[in-house]
Amino acid sequence: MRNHILTSAIALAAALSTPAFARPMTEIDLATLKRVAAPTASPDGRWVVFQMTETEPKTYKRSTGLWLIDRGAQGAAPVRVADTADKNETAPAFHPDGSLYFISNASGKSQVWRADPLVAAAAAVQVTDTAADVSGFKLSPDGKRLLAWGDVPRECIAFGCDAKDKGALPGPGSGRLYKDGAGFVRHWDSWENPGTYSRPFVFNLEGGKASTPRAVDGGLIGDSPSKPFGGGEELAWGADSRTVFFTLRQADKDEPTSTNLDIYSWLVDSRMMPQNLTADNKATDTLPAPSADGKWLAYAAMARPGYEADRQVLMLRDLSTGKTRKLTDAWDRSVGSIAWAADGKSLYVTAQDVLDHPVFRVDVKTGKVTKLKATAETHEGTIGDVTPLPGGALLYSRNTVAVPTDLFVRDAKGKVMRLTDVNRAQLAEIDPVDAKRFSFKGANGDTVWGQIIKPADTKGKVPVAFLVHGGPQGSFGNSWSTRWNPRLFSAPGYAAVTVDFHGSTGYGQAFTDSIKQDWGGKPLEDLKLGLAAAGVQDSNVDTANACALGGSYGGYMMNWIAGNWPDGFKCLVTHAGVFDLRAMAFETEELWFDEFDHGGPWWQRAEGEKWNPVNHVTKWKTPTLVIHGEKDFRIPYSQSLAVFHALQRQGVEGELLIFPDENHWILKGQNSIQWYQTVFGWMSKHLKK
């Protein structure tokens, strides 16, 4: 076997001019590091505002505020703006007049507020006063209108009302009644309330105040933005400040089996119904991005209905003729975000590419795709929040597997300036790490990539934390995670090893598709070969002294490994993992996910039991820690109860950690601490240091 390796030493402490070694990173560090998000720039590009979440280290209470940077002042440090004590400010956006709009819960509800960001003592003024909470908003290009959205009953004319139709709660008892054809009964982490949807409304702005709103969705019934993860990227103002483009998922009996999102346009001052611009495509259409000259609408589209991990191709629609063409059909990558260049001649998109998530420029005329050339800080790692600035500069966020998110600006010539370094002091206290990427020949002889993250001072053999990503169409990649964090897994003196097995994203659509109806086949082969390759590439990696850990599909793989690679590991950690594919097929909420990957409804599957972990429980012997959240409706927590019972009944060592207030993910600060402490305790018990 021929192996290839690329090494990138993350000498973080040296870069920060601190002592070479301080102390290992802890789960408290991960929970309390500051979190940067949602950068926005003033119309002239000089001022940048972003939101930052801070966590109190004793109570783990989180609060989010807004911070301002002056790009015109060399070495300027961020300063807090529009701050209300004990309240949260999020989602900043500059008005064309230079004022700052944002969402705050200062009134007791989430509403839109505004303030002058350049006047320190200026009081914020409430813009909206609606019955329902505002989830997000966008200002029209001329600044005269406000597009806002939130969960609003369908019968409400205004932005919220005391609806007469209580959906699934007919009374007189507490029971929910879902009628035939109800669609989703529960979704992600909440029970559905039929009749209430995520709905967009348009307000006129008069004297900085929002007037009576008008619903955008007309007679459409569904969620815009889509649930559970859709946001502002699914809605946009047209250049004329009269047209609204929005993505909507129709709510009907087919919703649990459909991935059909459509893009609609609606004229604010007309009585016409919204127009479906993508009705012919029964797969996902999303990310509407109109050009500044009003001529074009760029968006992303999938081709295959029922497949949430299909390739997203960049599309371009002529708004005057309706003619549409595929700009990136010949490019085997999936577009993750879209932004027009200031000159309108190209678009900036992000897309996963091997282990990174860089920025690419797409030429409007030819569709030619070019990765931006510059230093590592322009394309290595994970890039997001790409915002073109006047003069050809780009504002963006960036993180890597070794460092959390900060903000950067790349000028038109490719020179990069770092805008923020919000965790500098805390990171300076923590030991540096080395991050390596390596490749090897996996299943079918295909090239498969992985990473090794370990303390920079590692000497001799060290135990392995073998991390298996979820999805399964995903990647551990060169990115920072606030949940499954490879750098933190290496801190106790382990080598954290990841492998992007067949089915992972960033390697072309055929590689992603290859996991279909093969959950336990090629991926397991890749993991076996990848762990062995890591041991060959790095003499510190002790492959015989390893614990494997995974969540979601990674949790499935732990349950599969327990019966199909029972001698591979000293211990396992399975978080929110699928144990019985038959039960999963009938219990999960988004049925398209399970049915596409496994060949339709359970009764139509030719080999439904082939990759089912429950069929191999009698071979289990590896000590296993089982974790789940009770509010997980994607993979119901009963799957993990079954794993624990299977361990107990067979006398295999196991522990069960259940979080009653968490969903598929562990999000609360204290719960994250408990999660890591339990996992690290389990690993320490079974791995020889």
Alpha-carbon 174 to chain mean position: 35
Residue 498 corresponds to which amino acid?
T
Among 72-81, 298-307, 602-611, whose mean pLDDT is lowest?
72-81
Q: For 87-110, how does the pLDDT look when each residue is reduced to its tens digit (9 = 90+)?
A: 999 999 999 999 999 999 999 999
Q: Is the pLDDT of residue 9 over 60?
A: no
Predicted local distance difference test score (pLDDT) of residue 83: 86
pLDDT of the residue at 375:
61
Provide mean pLDDT across the span 358-381: 86
- In this predicted structure, what is the pLDDT of residue 642? 98
Indicate if the pLDDT at residue 2 is higher than 60: no
Residue 271's pLDDT is what? Answer: 87
Annotated catalytic residues are 552, 632, 664
What is the per-residue pLDDT for 84?
A: 87
Residue type present at position 147 = L
> Is the confidence at residue 611, as pLDDT, over 90?
yes
Tokens representing 168?
């699934």
Residue 247 pLDDT more than 60?
yes
Burial class (CB in 10 A: 0-12, 13-18, 19+), 533: buried
Token couple for 642: 């079954």
Determine the average pLDDT of the residues in 70-87. 91
Residue 505 backbone class (left: φ over 0; alpha: ψ -120 to 50; beta: rest): beta
Kindly report the pTM of this predicted structure: 0.95
In whole angstroms, what is the distance from residue 449 CA to residue 428 CA?
30
Q: Show the tokens assigned to 411.
A: 């000028």
Which position has the token pair 């960001």? 117
User: What is the reported pLDDT for 378?
Assistant: 55
Model confidence pLDDT, tens digit, residues 323-342: 999 999 999 999 999 999 99
Per residue in 443-458, pLDDT (tens digit) is 999 999 999 999 999 9
